[in-house]
Structure 1
Amino acid sequence: MTVRSRFHSIVSSIVSVHPHEISALLHAFSCFFFILSAYFVVLPLRDDGAISLGITNLPELFVGSLVLTLIAAPVSTVIFSLPYLSKGKALVLIHRFFSVSLVVFFVLWYSSSAKSFPSGSKVSVPHSTFKEDLKVDENLGSPAISPGSGNHGWFYISVRTGFFLWVALLNLITISSTWARIIDVLDSESGSRLFGFIGAGATLGQLLGSLFAAAMTWMGPFLLLFAALLMELAAQSSKGINQGIPHHTEELSSLREGEPDQHVETDEQIRPALAGSSPKSSTSLGNPRLWVMLDGLQLIMSSSYLLSISLFLWLGAVVSSFFYFQKITVVAMTVASPLGRRKLFAQINSFIAVFILAGQLTVTERILTVAGVTMAICLAPFIAFSNMVAITLWPTWFVVAVSETLRKVVMYVVTRPGRELLFTVVSREEKYKAKVCIDVIVQRLGDATAAGMYKFLFGTFNRRTSTVALYGLPVCLLWIVTAFRLGRRQEHLAKLHVASTP
C-alpha cells in the first residue's frame, strides 16, 4: 500500500468519504485550518486594541464594520464574476490580498506602538507571569471602559480602529468565499457527510492559532507576520478544492473551464423551485458588472427562501454580538493588564476550540444525517435563549464564560454546517452572488443593529449586564421560530431536487 492510499484510508476511517472526494475534502480542510489559524493568532491583539480605545466605543466600531463591508463586499463578488478568472483563482487572489494587508498592518501597528512611548524610553519584553497580568480592576471608571480613548494620539487610534474593522472583514470575506466555493462542488448529500470534517479543520486552526497566540503574546504586532504567512498557505490550499470531484451533475459540470454556461433541460425546470419560487432564470456568471452586488440583492428580494435565510442570519448576528459585548465588558472590568487580557482571550478561544473539535469529529455528521437540517439550525437559538436566561439570573464571569463556550460549541459543531446546507438547494448564481451578499452584508447589519441596541440598553440600565440580557430573550424566540420554518423549507426543496435528478 502506497503512502497516498494509506493516508486516504485513514481519512476514510474518520469520515464517510468517496475516493473521488478525498482531494477536495483535504484541500478544503487545510484551507479553513490556515484561515482560522491566522484569524485567532491576531484576534487577541485586535480585542485588546479595541479595549484600549474604550468599551463604550465598541458599538461605533461595529457600525464602522458595516460601512466597510458595504464597500468591500461588491469587490469580492466582482472578482468571482470575471470571465477570464476561474473561481479557484479568484479565491486564491482574495486570500493573498488579505495576507499582504496583514503585513501592511504590522508596519502600521509597530510604528504606532513605538510612538506611544515617551522619547528616550526603551520598549522591553514583559516577563510577568499570567497570574500577575490578571490584576483585578474594581474601578469601573478605568480607562478600559471609559468613554474616551485615553491619551493616545490620532495615529494610534486610527491604526487600532482600522485593524479592528479589517480583521472583521477578513474573517467574513475569506470564510464566506471559501464556503461558496465548497458548496459549489458538493451537493446536499455529500455536504451532510463532509461539512463536519471540513469544519473540524477550521476548529483545529482556531485551537492551534489560539495556543500560539497565548504562548507568544509577548511578540505583540510581530504575530501579524505569522498570520500573513498562514493566509498565504490558505491561498495555496484553496487551489485544490475543485480537484477530484466528478462532475456527474450539470451544476457541477459547469465549473469546468471553457464550459461556463452549459445547462440541461432538467436543471432549468427545477431551478425556479430551488430558488424559492423565484422565476428568474440564471444568467451567465462570466459577465462582469459593477452592479453585481445589486444582482445579489435582487436575487434575495425575489426569493422567499433567501429572505428567510437572511432573517435567520441577521437574528443570529444580533444575538452573537450581544454575547461579544458582554464578554469584552467583563474582561475590561476585571483584567487591568493589556498583556493579561490578550492571554485571557487566547486561552478562552483555546478552551472553546477543544470542545468544538471533539464535537465536529464525532457529532456533526450524525446530527446532520439523522436529525436533519431543521434540528441543526434550531439548536443554536435554543441554547442562546437558555444562555440569556442564565445571564439574567446569574450575571457573573463564570456564567458568561460557560455561556460563551456552549454557544460557540453548538454554533460551530451543529448549526454552522447545517447553515451551509441551506445553500445546497439554490442555483449556482445564487450561491456566488446572493450567498456572499447574505453572509457579508446581512451579518454586518446584524452586528450594527446589536451595537445600537446594546449601547442604548447598557447606558440606560447603568451597565447592568443582566438587564441587557433580559431584552435579548424576544430576539432568541424569534430566531427559534425562523430556524424551524427555514429548516422545514430546506428539507422540502432538497427532496424536490433529488426527485428531479435523473
Structure 2
Amino acid sequence: MSAAATAPVQSGLRGALRQSPPLIWACLYFFCLLSGYYVLRPVREAMAASADAKAVFPPVLIDWFSAHGIAVQDFVLQFLFTGVFFIMLVLQPLYGALVSRYARRVFLPAVYVFFIISLLGFYLLFDSGVPGRGMAFFFWAAVFNLFAVAVFWSFMADVFSNAQAREVYGYIGAAGTLGAFLGPIITAALVERVGIANLMLVSAGFLSACLVCIWRLRLWAVAREQEQKLVSGETPMGGSVLDGLKLIVREPLLRWLAVLVLFGVGVGTMLYNEQASIVRRLYPDAAASTAFFSRVDLAVNTLTLIVQLGFTRWLLSRYGIAPALLIPGVAIIIGFSILAASPLPLMVAMVQVMTRASEFSLAKPARETIYTRVDRQWRYKAGAAIDTVVYRGGDLTFAWVHKGLSLFGSHIVFVGGLVVAGAMTIAALGLLREEKKLPGERPE
C-alpha cells in the first residue's frame, strides 16, 4: 500500500489508476462531493435571484426592513453575502477547535455528518414551505461549498506528494467536474417533477458516499506519513483555534495566497451579481431560474472538463504552477474588457462560464499543489481560513462594491472588474515569487 501511495504515477490516466489505488478513491470522493453540491447549487442561485421576498427572508426581517423604509428585495445579495461573512467568522474558530483537538479520523467524518443532518432538516423546511427558507439555505450552501471542499483538498495533500499532485490533481479535478455535470442534470430532470425538497435527500446520499471514501483514503494517508516519517494526522494538531488566521498574517506565501483568493472572488462576485440581476428580470419563477442556472453550470463544467483532461496535467507537470495561475487572470481581463464595451446578457453568461471554468480547471489545482509542500497546520488551518473567512470577506466586500458601481450602469461595473482582475494577476505573481522558496516536498 505504501509503495503505491508514494511512487510517482505513470503517465496517462490508465497508468495512474493502475499504479495508484488512492487515486481511484480520491476521484470517487470528489465526484460524489461535487455531485451532491451541484444538485443544490441551482437551488441556491434561484433563492438568491428570487423575486419572492417571503420565500427568501423570514417575515420578521421583512417587517423590520419595511419599518425602516427599506425594500429588502433591492438588497438581497448584499444582505446574504454580509450574513455569510459573519457566519464564517463564527464558524472559523469552531473549525479551528475541531482540527486542533481531534484527530483526522474524527474531524473529517464529523464535517460531512453535520452537513448530511442539515440536509435532512432542509428537506423538512422546503417540503413545508417555511418562510425564510431561502436565506437559511443560502447561508448553509455557502458554508458547505467552502468547508467541505477545503477539507477535501487538505486531505488530498495528506495522501499525495507534490510530484504526484502535479500528475493527478487534474484527473481528480476532472472526476469532480463529472460530478458537477451530473448534479445539474439531476436537478434539471427532477426539480419540476419532485420539487426542491427531495433534492436535499439526493444530495445527502452523495455525501454519505463521501464518508466511505474518507475511510478508505485514510489508510493511504497513514501509510504515506509512516513511510516518509511525517507528522501523523492520526493525532490532534493542537495549537490555538485562531492559528490559521495568525499564519496568514505571519507568512508571506499565505498572505499572497489570501490576496489572490480575495481578488479572484471579487471578479466572480461582481460578475455573479450582474448575472443575478439579469435572471431576476427574465426568470421570475423559482423553478425556471433554477433550470437556467443548471444550464449555466453545465456549460461551465463542459469547458472545465475539456481543459482538465486535455491540458491541466500536462501544464502542471511540465511547466509548474505559473501558467495555470496566470492564464485565468489574462482570460478574465480579456473577458471584462469585452463586457465593458458591450455588456450584453449572453456575453455576461459566456464570460461567467470562462471565468469559473478557468478557476476550477487551472487556478484551483495549481494553488492546491502548494499545500503538498507545507505542514499540516498550514493546510488544515491556514488553508481553511483562506477558503472560508478570506473568501467570504471577498464576497462581502465586492457585493457592496458592485452595488455602488451598478448605480452608474453595467459598463462601469465591468471597468471596475478590470481593475480587480489586474490586482488578481499581480497577486499571482507575488505568490509565484514566494512559492519558489518552498522545498520540493513538505517538511517533516
Same fold (TM over 0.5): yes
Quickly say closer, same or farther: Cα 1:16–1:319, change in 2 above 3 A: farther
- Shift of residue 251 of structure 1? 6.2
What's 1:24 paired with? 22
- Cα separation, 2, equivalents of 1:250 and 1:299: 28
Structure 1 equivalent of residue 65 of structure 2: none
Matched ranges for 1:235-246 at <5 A: 235-244=211-220, 246=223
Give SS of 1:493's match. Answer: coil
1:489 equivalent to 2:434? Answer yes
Residue among 169, 173, 178 paired with 1:199: 173
Maintained 8 Å contact 2:96/2:243: no
1:473 to 418, 421, 432: 418
2 CA distance for matches of 1:402 and 1:319?
14
- Residue 398 of structure 1, CA deviation: 1.5
Matches within 5 A, 1:353-502: 353-458=301-406, 460-461=407-408, 464-495=409-440, 497=441
Helix, strand or coil at the partner of 2:218? coil
Identify which of 151, 160, 167 aligns with 2:141. 167
Paired residue for 1:188?
A: 162
Q: Aligned equivalents of 1:159 and 1:69: distance in 2?
A: 19
Mapped to 2, the partners of 1:434 and 1:248 lie a distance apart of: 20
Q: 1:405 to 1:16 in 2, by over 3 A?
A: farther
Distance across 1 between alignment mates of 2:159 and 2:173: 16
Query: How far did residue 480 of structure 1 move?
Result: 0.8
- Deviation of 1:329 (Å): 1.4
State the identity as a percent: 25
Q: Does structure 1 retain, via aligned residues, the 8 Å contact 2:103–2:237?
A: no
How far apart, CA to CA, are the structure 2 residues paired with 1:189 and 1:445? 32
Q: For 1:395, what is the secondary structure of its paired residue?
A: coil
| 3-state SS of 2:224 partner | coil
1:268 equivalent in structure 2: none
Give the 3-state SS of the residue equivalent to 2:219 in structure 1: coil
Q: How does 1:71-470 map to 2 (within 5 A)?
A: 71-82=90-101, 85-112=102-129, 155-156=130-131, 158-218=132-192, 219=194, 220-244=196-220, 246-247=223-224, 253-255=230-232, 257=234, 260=235, 285-287=236-238, 291-292=240-241, 294-458=242-406, 460-461=407-408, 464-470=409-415
C-alpha distance 304-453 of structure 1, shift in aligned 2 (>3 A)? same
The answer on whether the counterparts of 2:28 and 2:175 sit within 8 Å (CA) in structure 1 is yes
Task: Return the offset for 1:244.
Answer: 3.4
Show structure 1 runs of 5+ residues with no match. Answer: 6-10, 113-154, 261-284
Give unpaired runs (5+ residues) of structure 2.
5-9, 54-72
- Distance of 1:238 and 1:373 partners within structure 2: 27
Per-residue CA shift, 1:183-226, capped at 9, x if unaligned? 12222111101111111121111100011111112122211111
Instruction: Give, in angstroms, the shift of residue 334 of structure 1.
Output: 1.7
Higher share in helix: 2
CA drift of 1:28 comes to: 1.6
What do you get for the CA RMSD once the two structures are aligned? Answer: 2.4
Supply the AA of the counterpart residue of 2:416. Y
Q: Compared with structure 1, are the counterparts of its residues 239 and 215 closer, same or farther at alpha carbon in structure 2 (3 Å cutoff)?
A: same
Q: Does 1:49 align with 2:47?
A: yes
CA distance in 2, matches of 1:33, 1:109: 26
- Structure 2: how far apart are the matches of 1:233 and 1:208? 15
How big is the shift at 1:13?
4.4
1:70 equivalent in alignment to 2:118: no
AA partner of residue 308 (structure 1): W
1:188 & 1:215 partners in 2: Cα distance?
A: 40
Tell me the number of residue pairs that the alignment of Structure 1 and Structure 2 aligns: 413
Structure 2 match to 1:35: 33
| C-alpha distance in structure 2 between counterparts of 1:208 and 1:408, whole Å | 17
Q: 1:44 to 1:180 in 2, by over 3 A?
A: same
Distance 1:256 1:38, change over 3 A: closer
Partner Cα distance (1:252, 1:467) in 2: 55
Larger CA Rg, structure 1 vs 2: 1
